[in-house]
Chains A and B, each alone.
Chain A
Amino acid sequence: MSDHELRVSKIRNGTVIDHVAAGQALNVLAILGIDGSEGEGVSIGMNVPSDRLGRKDVVKVEDRELSQSEVEVLSLIAPEASINIIRDYDVVEKSRVDRPDTVTGLLSCPNRNCITNDNEPIASKFGVVADGVRCAYCGDIVRDDIAAHLDVQS
């Protein structure tokens, strides 16, 4: 995409999360716990034309570089995403997301009868399987719309 088509301006320092599946940008922010309350600049492009995905979302967060664990959780809802670390307007690091083996405390189990939905002192825990995630306690498998089970405020 050429500069004159840009809907979101370049950032000086921070992270650009590109090639996010269309419609998932707000979930990406939710999963990262970014809501602007820390004063960071956040820009979102949704349904932007993309050669690779047809339509994609783009998220730009100023003055914030994502940690490895943040990148891992991103992979669950945005497996195609690429992470660009920006310093002084230049991309200094570019990487694809890697899927983690387990995800703890991030998703809630859709099985209402799962012990993780009782009032017990444990965090939810999911193993990452080929095409979804699986509750480590009740064994329930979530394949579609994993973002709907995010246990965070969006």
Chain B
Amino acid sequence: MRQDHLISAANLSRESIEAVLDRAAAIDADPAAYRQRHAGAVLALCFFEPSTRTKMSFDTAMKRLGGTTVDMGTVESSSVKKGETLADTVRVVEGYADAIVLRHPSEGAAKMASEFVDVPLVNAGDGAGQHPSQTLLDLYTIRERAGLDDLSVGIMGDLKYGRTVHSLAHALTNFDVRQHFISPESLRLPRNVRFDLHESGAQVREHTDLDAVLPELDVLYVTRIQRERFPDENEYHAIAGEYRIDEETLDAARDDLSVMHPLPRVDEIAPEVDDTEYARYFEQAHNGVPVRMALLDELLTQAEAER
């Protein structure tokens, strides 16, 4: 599938996902072979919201491909503070760079921005919408241990606002995966994602309790329940406590369960889990570099071919 931009995981086919993951595996196996692949190319980092992992791993990925990056900096230090529209910002930035990575607090921001530029644009998070490059590294991490077919994947936490959740759910519909969504009632998947899952014919079940489904899971993908989603502090603590993972919780899990998390975590996974065989989240974060190298390589190579 031809892919000018990466906006939503809903647009990814199985073939396009596997192409990026295969390329990431090749990079992982021989990173030196890619060291000068995009020498001279410039990647613009436009983050209208804070980021550590996504921004640093895109930065590292571009540099390991031989390129460089330019960083818009914080919103406070940019022209956005003066009232510039996003459409104007990306039109200016495309003159400086060969590709753009964009994070923005509004849903649909990356889709709109992509309509104003000719260089490839990657959605690195649009509000509570999508975060498809995170999904590619999530899938890479899952595939390394268990493949991507005949799996039971549990996704737990803030399913309503979690953009990594939405992208992962969309992408998993391309594979033979039973999806279990575990959350408090108030943080269930949004209607539009449930609509898409239903349309795709995916095997989906929703739960409020992890215990019932944990023993059958190959993967448990945990996300953070944010304090600001609850008007009441006590209610937040009560609910967040119910969706916390520790060694005792995992007694009921299969030995080969992968516990994943897009990070940052607060206290939804106890630190004692870090040293168990279940913990995959740091490895998952590290996979951000080869996967984003593969993604940038694909987008830049295609853009160069079209020039």
Using CB atoms and an 8 Å cutoff, list the residues of chain A in contact with chain B: 111, 113-122, 134-141
Contacts and interface: CB of A to CB of B under 8 A. Distances in A.
Interface in B87-121: 87, 104-109, 111-112, 115
29 contacts: A111-B107, A113-B106, A113-B127, A113-B128, A115-B86, A115-B104, A115-B109, A115-B111, A115-B112, A116-B112, A117-B106, A118-B85, A118-B86, A121-B85, A121-B87, A122-B87, A136-B108, A136-B111, A137-B107, A137-B108, A138-B106, A138-B108, A139-B8, A139-B108, A139-B129, A139-B192, A140-B107, A140-B192, A141-B195
A82 B87 CA distance: 41
A119 B127 CA distance: 16
B108 A114 contact: yes
The 9 closest A-B pairs by CB, nearest first: A137-B108, A138-B107, A138-B108, A115-B108, A115-B106, A139-B192, A115-B109, A115-B112, A137-B111
Interface of B is mostly: mixed
Nearest to B107: A138
Chain A CB count within 10 A is highest, among B87, B112, B191, for B112
Given A139-B192, A140-B192, A113 B112 contact: no
Contacts of B126: 115
Given A113-B105, A120-B85, A141 B191 contact: yes
A120 B191 contact: no
B191 A114 contact: no
A141 B127 contact: no
A135 B195 CA distance: 13
Given A115-B111, A118-B86, A122-B112, 9 more contacts: A113-B128, A114-B108, A115-B112, A116-B108, A118-B106, A120-B85, A137-B107, A139-B129, A141-B192
Nearest to B10: A139
Given A113-B128, A138-B129, A140-B192, A122 B115 contact: yes
B106 to A, nearest CB: 4
A113 B104 CA distance: 11
Contacts of B112: 115-116, 120, 122, 137
Interface in B184-212: 191-192, 195
Contacts of B129: 138-139
A116 B127 CA distance: 13
A132 to B, nearest CB: 10
A122 B85 CA distance: 11
B13 to A, nearest CB: 18
A130 B104 CA distance: 30
Contacts of A141: 191-192, 195
Contacts of A136: 108, 111
Nearest to B115: A122
A121 to B, nearest CB: 5
Nearest to B109: A115
Contact of A139 (B85, B86, B105, B107): B107
Contacts of B115: 122
Nearest to B108: A137
B101 to A, nearest CB: 17
Contacts of B106: 113-115, 117-118, 138
B108 A135 contact: yes
Contacts of A111: 107
Given A113-B127, A138-B129, A141-B191, A120 B107 contact: no
A40 to B, nearest CB: 37
A119 B112 CA distance: 12
A138 B126 CA distance: 9
Contacts of B105: 113
Nearest to B106: A115
Given A134-B192, A137-B112, A141-B195, A114 B107 contact: yes
Contacts of B191: 141
Interface in B124-167: 126-129
A128 to B, nearest CB: 14
A124 to B, nearest CB: 10
Contacts of B108: 114-116, 135-139
